[in-house]
Amino acid sequence: MTSIQIALIAILALLSALWWVADTLFPQPFGYFPFRTVFMQYSGALAIGVMSVAMVLAARPVRLEKPLGGLDKMYRLHKWLGITALVVSLAHWWMAQGTKWMVGWGWLTRP
């Protein structure tokens, strides 16, 4: 694995571990709507955290250039963090809007 892959996995693992300490991903009783609530909070926190790290990398900190393998690798990590933030933000948005649409279509019933 390259330093970029390790850094991306480490960032996601750290943010997920911080979330795991604050809350659980397995609400009781387990169902769609309780899971939706937890997943919305988790995906929102993960998206904000990843975007924050990407913003730090956009400032071109000299101390991170060497551990990441140079400025080009740091920019590549910045790109992948942006893509990750977009995907997680879309999942967050879908859980908010998609559930409302599915209730409107009659696929789900409100608890």
| Residue pLDDT, tens place only, 39-78 | 899 999 999 999 999 999 999 999 988 988 888 999 999 9
Tokens standing for 100? 């409302």
According to the model, what pLDDT value does residue 58 have?
92
Q: At what angle do helices 3-22 and 71-105 cross, to 10 degrees?
A: 40
Please write the tens of the pLDDT for every residue from 14-34: 999 999 888 876 777 888 888
Q: Which backbone phi and psi does 28 adopt, to 5 degrees?
A: -115, 130
The pTM for the full model equals 0.84
3-state secondary structure of 78: helix
Between the alpha carbon of residue 76 and those of residues 1, 40, 49, 61, the distances in Å are: 15, 28, 18, 14
3-state secondary structure of 2: coil
